[in-house]
Amino acid sequence: MDLNDQIEIVKRFNDYINNQDIEGLSSLMSVDHVFIERDGNSHGPKSFMVEGWKDFFKMFPEYRNTFEKIRASGNRIYVLGFAYWSEEEPCDRVIWSARIEHNLIVEWRVDVDTAENRKKFNL
């Protein structure tokens, strides 16, 4: 798969997040999709995460991600940016990464935006 195609899949996945589009998110998740939080906790598979996104959007109706820098390496895409939660919560600097196989996101991961992680992910 072309790296630009992988980047487009990640951008589309983020658009679905920003638009709270559950069907769109589901269409880009592999059956064995896993979400990994900053603390290393993981959640999956796809059926669990579809319900998880529904609950997440109910809890955080203003949530949005903004991508500032994207880098592809093999079947992984790394993204530097920030999450917006609400007016009460400041923007949250994060690094997202996605592992893509067969045009689907197998893993969606969130890491803390630190100098060490920027170096680790070559951002």
- pLDDT on residue 111: 96
Give the pLDDT mean for 97-110. 96
pTM, two decimal places: 0.90
Q: Which of 39, 40, 33, 24 is nearest to 100 (CA)?
A: 33
Instruction: Summarize pLDDT for 44-69 with one digit per residue, the tens.
Output: 999 999 999 999 999 999 999 999 99
Q: Which fold has domain 3-120?
A: Nuclear Transport Factor 2; Chain: A, (3.10.450)
Does the pLDDT value for residue 1 go beyond 70?
A: no
On whether the CB atoms of residues 99 and 105 are closer than 8 A, the answer is: yes
In the chain, where are the structural domains located?
3-120
